[in-house]
Amino acid sequence: FFNKEGDFNNLTAAAFHKKTHLLVTGFASGVFHLHELPDFNLIHSLSISDQRIASISINCTGDWIAFGCSGLGQLLVWEWQSESYVLKQQGHFNSMVSLAYSPDGQYIVTGGEDGKVKVWNTSSSFCFVTFTEHNSGVTAVTFTSTGYVVLSASLDGTVRAFDLHRYRNFRTFTSPRPSQFSSLAVDSSGEIVAAGSQDSFEIFIWSMQSGRLLDVLAGHEGPISSLSFNPMKCILASASWDKTVKLWDMLDSWRTKETFIINSDVLVVAFRPDGKELAVAALDGQITFWDHDNAVQTGSIEGRHDLQMGRKELDKITAKQAAKGKSFTTLCYSADGQSILAGGLSKFVCIYNVKEQILMKKFEISCNHSLDAMEVFCVSKEMKDYFYCELVVNMLNYFQISLLGDMSYRHFKPEIRVTCVRFCPTGRSWAATTTEGLLLYSLDSGLIFDPFELDIDVTPSNIHKTLSQKEYTMAIVMAFKLNEKKLIQEVIEAVPSSEVDVVCSSLPDLYVEKLLEFLASAFETSCHLEFYLIWAHKLLMLHGQKLKTR
């Protein structure tokens, strides 16, 4: 059929639903068709992307169709009967470079090489706003202390501030001469914005309030790799490839307060949450800790062996030899300041205890063997064949390829790497931007403790005690204060149907809405349909007028 239409060469994905005789076909142009078999009646067709549709799936009832477009990282769920989207998500289509948590840990902002800034909800894992104002790759992102403003620095020579209330770019900071910004920091009050340049070796300071350039800090002799404000004092730490870390005092008209000489190019600098310690990661793979008030080094971690680099497909040297040149490129303290999280050009993220200076745990972020540098040893048959057959050819072409890059080499694998790690301010989770996307690691698997007007007497055992005394209204209020779904369900189902009327009439207004919300979700799953309908009926009869006026 598609051959006849002349479309067959463009067909990239297809799925068939047996019960409804539905055939869904996706094409290289981003268009999909819906046909009813066996007559090939076209139900409808729609263009959903400007890239090829890579994958299609239909749910068991045949109502929803999911599409994946790998070129742009799009995921779409389409309800064909009502012709509407159920879900529409798009990731960064290049690699993510940086991330930051909001102060309450509810949101994460990420910046990518595609120039986009995306804000994600940590509980639902969905992106709810995308800012596309930057014309070049975003190098750093951060939240201000209020949590309503997101800042991003880019290679296009701008630092932009976005408002999360109205979703707009309300400030754009620029330098007198165009500069590529590689790092960004905002002070604890959210008033001072600092960005480091990778071409002029300067640090630019702006006022958030007026958007004016306040100062330009010169002194580094290499590109600025990282900036960090002390959370407790008006001090800015800057790291550079000139093998130094400088501390600038904001109150003393930005004079250099201290300069630490490091053995190697400095890649990243981070303050402990209490502001009393500074961690520095350098190109030699060492993490050093400094007491910046007294300008003394308090410890160091030799982290190069923990990174455990893999061997790339075409590497001429072993992974062990290659690891000698590897280092951590991102650092972050945990919320309590007792441990430090470090990642780099490797599939491992390491957590160290700062006081003991020992490795506590290593996280393997991926087992995906379609990425490069995943294996430490390559002794496969292909590798041996490769060495015997292509070594001679490779050696002849080696100089030409290494100078010009092999223009005819079509096949490449993305290399596994961790570009940024951040700890959640709540201390219960951390996130990393990697070749595999944005990864969240949490101590709580899906359990969200969200109490409401909680006090010390509200405990599960006290709720059961109140229930046994037949104080049903009190028990329901206490259960909603704890806000645990199973407990609320247990309490409501323990109320005899004859008592529902009395309980509903004595329930405080504030909890009526909460109970209605709970009933709405319970109807979906519960087998006690009549019982819950009695609840809903009595609640709406007694409180319907009040709810309407509100």
Q: Do 283 and 267 touch, CB atoms closer than 8 A?
A: yes
Q: Do 481 and 475 touch, CB atoms closer than 8 A?
A: no
Tokens at 430, concatenated: 């951390």
- For residue 138, being part of any structural domain is answered with no
The SS3 of residue 537 is helix
Residue 503 sits in a domain whose CATH number is: 1.25.40.190
Q: Compute the C-alpha angle 28/29/33, nearest 5°.
A: 85
- For residue 534, being part of any structural domain is answered with yes
What is the domain extent for residue 43?
Answer: 11-90
The SS3 of residue 287 is strand
Output Rg (C-alpha) for the chain, integer angstroms.
29
* CA max distance for the chain: 91
pTM of the model: 0.75
The SS3 of residue 116 is coil
Number of structural domains (the chain) is 2
- For residue 16, being part of any structural domain is answered with yes
- For residue 468, being part of any structural domain is answered with yes
- Last residue within a domain, chosen from 38, 55, 90: 90
- Last residue within a domain, chosen from 66, 90, 114: 90
Residue 31 sits in a domain whose CATH number is: 2.40.10.480
Q: Do 310 and 373 touch, CB atoms closer than 8 A?
A: yes
pLDDT along the chain (550 residues), means of 10: 74 93 93 91 90 94 93 90 92 90 94 95 91 96 95 96 95 95 95 94 95 95 96 94 95 89 95 95 94 93 81 73 80 94 91 94 87 67 55 52 53 82 92 92 66 78 91 91 89 92 87 90 88 92 82
- Cis peptide bond upstream of 38, omega within 30: yes
Output DSSP code: residue 415: B
Q: Do 372 and 416 touch, CB atoms closer than 8 A?
A: yes
The SS3 of residue 181 is strand
Between helix 485-494 and helix 460-468 the angle, nearest 10°, is 0
Q: Using CA atoms, how far apart are residues 362 and 407, in angstroms rounded to an integer?
A: 38
- Last residue within a domain, chosen from 90, 124, 155: 90
- Sequence-ordered list of residues with C-beta below 8 angstroms from that of 264, at least 6 positions apart, any chain: 243, 282, 283, 284, 286
Tokens at 168, concatenated: 């707009």
Burial class (CB in 10 A: 0-12, 13-18, 19+), 447: exposed
- For residue 79, being part of any structural domain is answered with yes
- For residue 19, being part of any structural domain is answered with yes
pLDDT value of residue 399: 46
- For residue 545, being part of any structural domain is answered with yes
Count of alpha carbons within 13 angstroms of residue 359, beta-carbon side: 14
- For residue 254, being part of any structural domain is answered with no
